[in-house]
Structure 1
Amino acid sequence: MIILASMSKKLLLILSLFISYCSYAQNKIVVFQSDFGLKDGAVSAMKGVAMGVSPHLKLYDLTHEIPAYNIWEASYRLYQTVTYWPAGTVFVSVVDPGVGTSRKSVVLKTNTGQYIVTPDNGTLTLVSESLGIAEIRQIDENVNRRRGSEKSYTFHGRDVYAYTAARLAAGVITYEQVGPELPKEVVKLPYQKAELENGKLKGTIDILDVQYGNLWTNIGDDLIKPLNLKVGDVLHLIVYHNGKKAYEGDAPYSSTFGQVAKGKPLAYLNSLLQLSFALNQGSFADVYKIGSGSEWSVLVSRK
């Protein structure tokens, strides 16, 4: 009897661990991102496909306002967001100007346990570097494609990505059943990585704080520390577009926007602790015609 009781306790422990693992691997959360906008039914169609797989899924939006075909911004928004979602969350990112071509459709598992369903077209550039690649698999469309969609070549977001993501999140398929494993490599967009060289900071304007027109660079606070900046110190900023100078000027290093007069420039750390530039109550991007992405780089030094 004692032996049986001991075995029962072990079995219960194993069962508990198994249930815990399953809840970790499949939390039923799917997060959608696209460049579709919300003017038509494209986003609703993707969510409808997901709910058709399982009505118990929890569906959320990252954004559907990525500028059309802007793969870099899709990459950035994943980098900005994925890390805050629990392990097991499945992201669907559809910014796919090459839909129907030979680019691979993949599901990447990050080292922190999130999954990203997307074309391998550069969308995974930043998240693969920031969170790392635990594994990557190519979607087997013979298995993971919405039934009856075989003749459709222009809406993989609905027919392949939303369908595969829903099946994975709902536990209908395991990650291994997505398709064959690939080398831990993804297509990457070229860009100026953040670095400190001879007292000068180099980097990329990753994104615009779109509501306000602030310039967010990829230069983190770890690179800024060696400069021993204090509030009020003046930084000299040069912005390049495809290697050609687009802007040059000075901005005081500030902890709040109100430390400079209205309309005046300032440098500050954004919510991701990266060096950024703004006009107090104005749009830096609009006033000086500056954009974001891999073709926009910066050179920053102390004045």
Structure 2
Amino acid sequence: MEQLQILDAKASVLTLLSDFGDRDVYVGVMKGVIAQINPKLTLVDLTHQIPPQNIAAARFCLMNAYAYFPVGTVHLAVVDPGVGSRRRAIAVEFAQGFLVGPDNGIFSGVLSQNPAIAAIELTNFNYWRTPQPSNTFHGRDIFAPVGANLASGVPIQELGQEIDSATLVQLNIGECKETSIGVMGCIQYIDHFGNLVSNIPGSYVQGKTWCVQVRGLTIPGCATYSDVQVGEAIALVGSHGWVEIAINSGNAHSRLQINLQDSLEVISKVNAT
């Protein structure tokens, strides 16, 4: 088909994020489809170890990765429990580049920091692998070829019908709320090490003495993991910029039995100068 012809195009960056894992061929097949369109593209695997169907985890990972890529990068994200249903397939342009994937809230973290410039429903099947895509693998049949074409210079407006960005699905992970002694938040992500990442920005505790209260525990706020003894709980600001709870050389998730969406409170006071 025409959209699978190799394009004489720039060697742009295309990132891939999914819950496909590395046991099956799904990721490799998507890369094959992309290479059929433009083998010059630079492909970067953000991760394919998102827990199955965990849109919130995908949202967090993409939100904390996009800023490290060149302007114009296309980010292809496929965590899609609604594949084959009436959920929309979309491409979004924002200041740093483009997003391609399902309209299920996976992009709401990025777009909370960078509003959409344009949003397109992917209705032009000339840029799909086939006009009759599988009901279970839109990553192969729609998102991979669209992402490859977009990264190769096809204008986003050619990919389908423009839609109002205000109608894009938002994933509600809870909001921070100030209290009389600090700020309330929740756990928005649990990483590979079992660190419990909250939705409270690290800027809130800068220049303050602080601690976290969660499930009857009071956990001191420190600068590095080594500020407490091995096996002890600690709260700190992670490299992603959010307040997190960790265990020095341990797994906070399994040890503390704190889960996604569980609430916590940061209590702080301004340091004397």
2-side partners of 1:151 and 1:216: how far apart? 37
Name the structure 1 match of 2:12: 28
- 2:173–2:188 contact (8 Å) kept in structure 1: no
- 2:212–2:221 contact (8 Å) kept in structure 1: no
1:218-297 aligned within 5 A: 218-225=199-206, 228-230=207-209, 235-238=211-214, 247-292=215-260, 295-297=261-263
1-side partners of 2:133 and 2:12: how far apart? 29
- Aligned residue type for 2:140: R
Structure 1 position 99 matched with structure 2 position 83: yes
The one-character-per-residue Cα deviations of 1:47-70 (angstroms, maximum 9, x if unpaired) are: 000000012111110100000000
TM-superposed deviation, 1:111: 2.4
Name the structure 2 match of 1:197: 179
Name the structure 2 match of 1:116: 99
Q: Where does structure 2 lack aligned partners over 5 or more consecutive residues?
A: 1-8
2-side partners of 1:152 and 1:105: how far apart? 13
TM-superposed deviation, 1:296: 2.8
- 2:212–2:264 contact (8 Å) kept in structure 1: no
How large is the RMSD of aligned CA atoms in angstroms?
1.9
Is 70-79 or 130-139 further displaced after alignment? 130-139
Identity %: 31
The one-character-per-residue Cα deviations of 1:5-55 (angstroms, maximum 9, x if unpaired) are: xxxxxxxxxxxxxxxxxxxx9652111111111101100000000000012
Instruction: Determine helix, strand or coil for the equivalent of 1:143.
Output: helix
2-side partners of 1:128 and 1:299: how far apart? 26
Structure 1 position 126 matched with structure 2 position 109: yes
TM-superposed deviation, 1:175: 1.3
Instruction: Determine helix, strand or coil for the equivalent of 2:29.
Output: helix
Q: Where does structure 1 lack aligned partners over 5 or more consecutive residues?
A: 1-24, 239-246
TM-superposed deviation, 1:223: 2.3
Name the structure 2 match of 1:169: 151
User: Cα distance 1:100–1:151, how it changes in 2: closer, same or farther (>3 A)?
Assistant: same
- Aligned residue type for 1:143: N
TM-score (norm 1): 0.81
Structure 1 position 43 matched with structure 2 position 19: no
1-side partners of 2:37 and 2:95: how far apart? 27
- 1:236–1:248 contact (8 Å) kept in structure 2: no
TM-superposed deviation, 1:279: 1.3
TM-score (norm 2): 0.89
TM-superposed deviation, 1:291: 2.4
TM-superposed deviation, 1:143: 2.1
Question: Would you say how many aligned residue pairs link Structure 1 and Structure 2?
Answer: 260
TM-superposed deviation, 1:78: 0.8
User: Cα distance 1:204–1:184, how it changes in 2: closer, same or farther (>3 A)?
Assistant: same
- Aligned residue type for 1:52: Q
- 1:204–1:296 contact (8 Å) kept in structure 2: yes
1-side partners of 2:172 and 2:157: how far apart? 30
TM-superposed deviation, 1:286: 0.7
User: Cα distance 1:132–1:141, how it changes in 2: closer, same or farther (>3 A)?
Assistant: same
Match of 1:83 among 59, 67, 82: 67
Larger Rg: 1
The one-character-per-residue Cα deviations of 1:118-174 (angstroms, maximum 9, x if unpaired) are: 100111121110122111111124322113x61522110000000001011112x21
1-side partners of 2:134 and 2:104: how far apart? 20
Match of 1:146 among 102, 125, 129: 129
1-side partners of 2:59 and 2:24: how far apart? 24
Match of 1:214 among 191, 195, 201: 195
